[in-house]
Chain A
């Protein structure tokens, strides 16, 4: 276990719940979008958060960005718990994290030109001097291959291609030189042809400046080329976390295995075989199943155990954590045949 101060970010027991109200007044329940999430992020490390739609991965990303206020747990950023920050301290924190969104066109205000878009964060955080700001903008743009800068600055978002728009979004996230960048599905809305290019740019920016990067995606195939560690999320919880090679080669959790199985592979043979996918739908986050969240869909589930006990992190291999009772003290309850 690394000491907290070695970490850029240490999330622990994080819970982000949304109130459900009837007529906007009476409490009728809550959506547990993020429900007890813990993980660390070292300086300059890239972590991928993988999971299917609605598993809470975007909520987790936004909670880290403090777009949502968590109801419990801590977010330790460089030794400060920013979970409860507000006012000027929160504003200062915002200058230390960058945010890259999914839809580049939607993420850029259509009525501002590139120069204003990039100036806004600097104006907000009090970087004075037109010339100074201009120099920072030019540096950032050239880093993202948007050159010559003078040609792009007066352009409005609709005049740029999708890839260029996303590079402007990355430039905006980079402009305050943050320590952490959160990228929420940064390439899923882009043409396949520019995806790799954008990911490489993001990677090189991250490498060059030693920025921590949280990469949220539902696409496991890009994770291998991109991240150091992978967190697999299911129904608001991180069910497995390990180095990217480790998790792809040796997945523990039944859900992770299913995800890896689902990676498309352009092989003609695949057309004939059916993939082995878990049955059913992901659970409602308003009313998650008791015990292990995955047990209704799990082939290995043991009645009386998996539907009762919520699995904690087990670490069967060093640096590889999994939340599945198969790897806990109750492992004997699982028949060896099932534990493939």
Chain B
């Protein structure tokens, strides 16, 4: 077996497409492991569920950050600067009688070619009864000052400047994320690049009160894979989608090839009633439509990926493959070495697993490899149809979201393209290796 594996590998190297396919598979597996180890399962679920507070500091509909590496593209990235960051200056001076004066300056440089899509200020304050009071102002590179707020602040306040109607009036009718970054009075808003500053000056009215502020200038590009309509980073779904897709497909392929083969072998070996039962079940199963059954179960019972996997495997156990395997096993059953094994006392189970299946296994390997992407696609298909697992982030779920938000209509190409590319790569990789293996194991296919 080891020798066979080694010689197969050596032969595989003769096919450049197979080498490419192996490389793709290797990368996918690597990505799968990387994802599982860097983002723990519970963390991935939490991030994908997107509870309030998880994604507040990420933009909506941002493209992948690596887009900026292309020449001529310089889209704003998300700038997050809080009072605890290095560049921030924060001074608290006591002015007596439990009151202290606080001054926080958040300087940052903005030199991108587009306006940010949104602008927010987050307030963190701790106090017992008396709220701190503060005046927040915006300082532009050309020295102007725009007042954003001048009032008492509650804890956990989220100042959505972009939606602030009062501010819009002061900014010539532009929303804050445009008006605060434009050259004053420019007719078509023109970006003013340079050093900006958000300044907070205020008073803490209790002895151990605290006040912190965080400015988020949302970007038009964000993260490795961009974000969706709920500000979730698509990288989470694309990364975690990899192990899920591979595991689902691998288990489904194992379930519907190896076990199928075992059933076929057992049917042939025991013959009689067992064989007849296997044949009849297979024939009935062959005319059952798999996808509608899965849609039915997904709609009426559960959309859990494990339920779907179980359905795939159960429907796959008695798949049409049994007929193919049976034809081969009927021949194997009559071989002299099986008779010899019976004569020296090998039991039924030993003959099935050690004598019959190893003989046919080489036939199965290419099939198995080619089958894996088809199950990856099946999982994606179910998700696109709205029957994806409600909890898990998968490639299909990303596509489903993109479809529901009319991503292509709105120009969010990245949203569809990235999971699609991953799906296509998976299909390509496994198919290339599978076809090469087929040629190696079935030399007659070689031209």
Interface residues of A (CB under 8 A from B): 62, 65, 67, 91, 94-95, 97-99, 101-103, 106-111, 120-121, 124-125, 169, 172, 176
Q: Which residue of B lies closest to A91 (CB)?
A: B345
Q: How far is the CB of A80 from chain B (nearest CB, A)?
A: 16
Once bound together, how far apart are the Cα atoms of A176 and B340, in whole Å?
Answer: 14
Residue pair A94, B336 in contact (C-beta under 8 Å): no
Instruction: Decide: A67 near B346, CB < 8 A? Known: A109-B355, A111-B359.
Output: no
B344 within 8 A of A: yes
Report the number of A-B residue pairs with Cβ-Cβ less than 8 Å. Answer: 59
Q: Which residue of B lies closest to A95 (CB)?
A: B345
Residue pair A106, B336 in contact (C-beta under 8 Å): yes
Q: Which residue of B lies closest to A124 (CB)?
A: B345
Residue pair B350, A124 in contact (C-beta under 8 Å): yes
Which residues between 322 and 360 of chain B lie within 8 Å of chain A, taking CB atoms?
335-337, 339-347, 350, 354-355, 358-359
Residue pair A95, B358 in contact (C-beta under 8 Å): no
Query: Which 5 A-B residue pairs are closest in the complex by CB-CB distance?
Result: A94-B345, A106-B336, A99-B343, A121-B344, A107-B336
Give me 17 A-to-B residue pairs in the complex whose CB atoms sit less than 8 angstroms apart, sorted by A's number. A62-B339, A91-B347, A95-B344, A97-B343, A98-B344, A101-B336, A101-B340, A106-B335, A107-B336, A107-B339, A108-B337, A109-B337, A109-B355, A120-B354, A124-B346, A125-B345, A172-B344
Q: Which residue of A lies closest to B336 (CB)?
A: A106
Name the B residues within 8 Å of A91 (CB-CB): 345, 347
Residue pair B337, A107 in contact (C-beta under 8 Å): yes
Name the A residues within 8 Å of B358 (CB-CB): 109, 111
Q: Which residue of A lies closest to B355 (CB)?
A: A109
Residue pair B359, A120 in contact (C-beta under 8 Å): no
Instruction: Decide: A124 near B344, CB < 8 A? Known: A101-B339, A103-B336, A107-B336.
Output: yes
B1 within 8 A of A: yes
Residue pair B345, A65 in contact (C-beta under 8 Å): no
Residue in contact with B343 in the complex, picked from A94, A102, A110, CB distance below 8 Å:
A94
Residue pair A176, B336 in contact (C-beta under 8 Å): no
Residue pair A120, B341 in contact (C-beta under 8 Å): yes
Name the A residues within 8 Å of B355 (CB-CB): 109
Q: How far is the CB of B227 from chain A (nearest CB, A)?
A: 53
Name the B residues within 8 Å of A109 (CB-CB): 337, 341, 355, 358-359
Q: How far is the CB of B362 from chain A (nearest CB, A)?
A: 9
Residue pair B340, A99 in contact (C-beta under 8 Å): yes
Q: How far is the CB of B11 from chain A (nearest CB, A)?
A: 17
Once bound together, how far apart are the Cα atoms of A169 and B335, in whole Å?
Answer: 14
Query: Chain A CB within 10 Å — which of B335, B337, B342, B346 has the most?
Result: B337
Name the A residues within 8 Å of B340 (CB-CB): 99, 101, 107-108, 169, 172
Once bound together, how far apart are the Cα atoms of A99 and B155, in whole Å?
Answer: 89
Once bound together, how far apart are the Cα atoms of A101 and B347, in whole Å?
Answer: 20
Q: How far is the CB of B343 from chain A (nearest CB, A)?
A: 4
Name the A residues within 8 Å of B350 (CB-CB): 124
Q: Which residue of A lies closest to B276 (CB)?
A: A24
Q: How far is the CB of B223 from chain A (nearest CB, A)?
A: 50
Once bound together, how far apart are the Cα atoms of A94 and B342, in whole Å?
Answer: 9
Name the B residues within 8 Å of A121 (CB-CB): 344-345
Name the A residues within 8 Å of B347 (CB-CB): 91, 124
Q: How far is the CB of A157 from chain B (nearest CB, A)?
A: 9
Q: Which residue of B lies closest to A182 (CB)?
A: B343
Once bound together, how far apart are the Cα atoms of A310 and B50, in whole Å?
Answer: 92
Once bound together, how far apart are the Cα atoms of A110 and B1, in whole Å?
Answer: 11
Once bound together, how far apart are the Cα atoms of A106 and B1, in whole Å?
Answer: 19
Q: How far is the CB of B323 from chain A (nearest CB, A)?
A: 18
Q: How far is the CB of B412 from chain A (nearest CB, A)?
A: 53
Residue pair A111, B1 in contact (C-beta under 8 Å): yes
Residue pair B344, A120 in contact (C-beta under 8 Å): yes
Once bound together, how far apart are the Cα atoms of A220 and B341, in whole Å?
Answer: 29
Once bound together, how far apart are the Cα atoms of A106 and B355, in whole Å?
Answer: 13
Name the B residues within 8 Å of A98 (CB-CB): 344
Q: How far is the CB of A107 from chain B (nearest CB, A)?
A: 4
Residue pair B345, A102 in contact (C-beta under 8 Å): no
Q: Which residue of B lies closest to A110 (CB)?
A: B359
Once bound together, how far apart are the Cα atoms of A47 and B350, in whole Å?
Answer: 33
Q: Which residue of A lies closest to B343 (CB)?
A: A99
Name the A residues within 8 Å of B335 (CB-CB): 106
Q: Which residue of B lies closest to A93 (CB)?
A: B345
Once bound together, how far apart are the Cα atoms of A102 and B337, in whole Å?
Answer: 11
Residue in contact with B344 in the complex, picked from A62, A94, A102, A110, CB distance below 8 Å:
A94
Q: How far is the CB of B55 from chain A (nearest CB, A)?
A: 55
Q: How far is the CB of A70 from chain B (nearest CB, A)?
A: 16
Q: Which residue of A lies closest to B272 (CB)?
A: A24
Once bound together, how far apart are the Cα atoms of A199 and B167, in whole Å?
Answer: 107
Q: How far is the CB of A119 from chain B (nearest CB, A)?
A: 11
